[in-house]
Amino acid sequence: MAGLLYLGSGLGLFAWRRVRRAPAVRLSGTSWGWLAAAVGCGGLLAPPLLLAGLTGLAAAPASLLLNAEAVFTALIAWVVFRENVDTRVALGFAAIVAGGLVLAWPGGSAGSVAVGPTLLVLAACALWALDNNLTRRVAEVDATWLAMVKGLAAGGTNTALALAGGARTGPVASVAVTLLIGLFCYGVSLSLFVVALRHLGVARTGAYFSTAPFVGSVAAVVLWSEPVTWRLLVAGSLMALGVWLHLTERHEHRHRHEALTHDHLHDHADGHHDHEHPPGTPPGPHRHRHTHTPVVHSHPHYPDLHHRHRHGHGSPGGDGPVGA
């Protein structure tokens, strides 16, 4: 199932890019290394670990453990990759995760939890968190291409492993539906996730992504007439609070942009792209390889592609020294 979902993502996006005649993507040797590491962590190693852990856990505690991915994602972003965080962002993240915990906590006695399977699920979450942070290093490339490559690599490998282990694919109709679900819920979802990484940074994107349990619960109420419980209301309130804290964040200080050359979708109205173009360049959002000259200025910003500078002790949440 995991292999087919990934394959649906990769094959569907491949067809989409062929129809659109999307231009070829060229990565540097370093970028290929980041991408290979991300695919290896999130597409090849994490799914088998998760499934191995699920064989020894009930659904409720397993769901609870899966919320660890958002926690690990933020911790790696803050500690390893030095993504900036202030009190408002940390509180918002805590509120969103708390909402997920309310939804996932077992209703009755959870009983004893097997240590081995629990560690396997946590290891899978840690690998997906590392995948999120590694993907950020190549998030400037075409998001559909990136999701396609990850889908084909992970899907092909997992499907081959499953078939080698004696698994059967099932009826053709079931396979087709699974591939279609993979295209939208893995391929389109990952493409949008990559775009968010560009503009919000890893920790904030991971925090928003952790609202998925609430979205799923609302869908269950609407589609399947499941009851509106106190858990749903409390979780929804906590997640709404967390998202509001993030959306109303204002991170502004004087900072320095070093010279940078890269290729990504951009618009000249954003204040960071004042380069010239040859005649015939279309107006509006477009992409091409361009160079940023050094500049020092102050304005509200997120830890996006153009704001990965370091922060001084006085600038995690407001005015402060220029980032190195």
For the stretch 111-139, pLDDT in tens is 445 788 888 988 999 999 999 889 888 87
Q: Are residues 245 and 166 in the same domain?
A: yes
Query: Would the pLDDT of 66 be above 60?
Result: yes
Query: Would the pLDDT of 320 be above 70?
Result: no
Instruction: List the single range of 55-69, 141-155, 177-191, 211-225 with lowest mean pLDDT.
Output: 55-69
Write the CB contacts of 69 (distance below 8 Å, at least 6 apart in sequence).
125, 128, 129, 132, 206, 210
- 113-122: string of b/e by CB count within 10 Å (b at 16+)? eeeebbebbb
Q: Are residues 298 and 149 in the same domain?
A: no
- Which pLDDT tens digit goes with each residue over 218-238? 787 888 787 888 877 888 888
Expressed as residue numbers, the domain containing 308 is 253-275+284-324
Pairing verdict, β 295-300 and 252-257: antiparallel
Q: Are residues 257 and 243 in the same domain?
A: no
Global pTM reads: 0.68
Q: Are residues 175 and 268 in the same domain?
A: no
pLDDT number for residue 311: 52
Q: Are residues 260 and 129 in the same domain?
A: no
Burial class (CB within 10 angstroms; exposed 0-12, middle 13-18, buried 19+) of 218: middle
- Which pLDDT tens digit goes with each residue over 259-284? 666 565 556 655 555 666 666 666 66
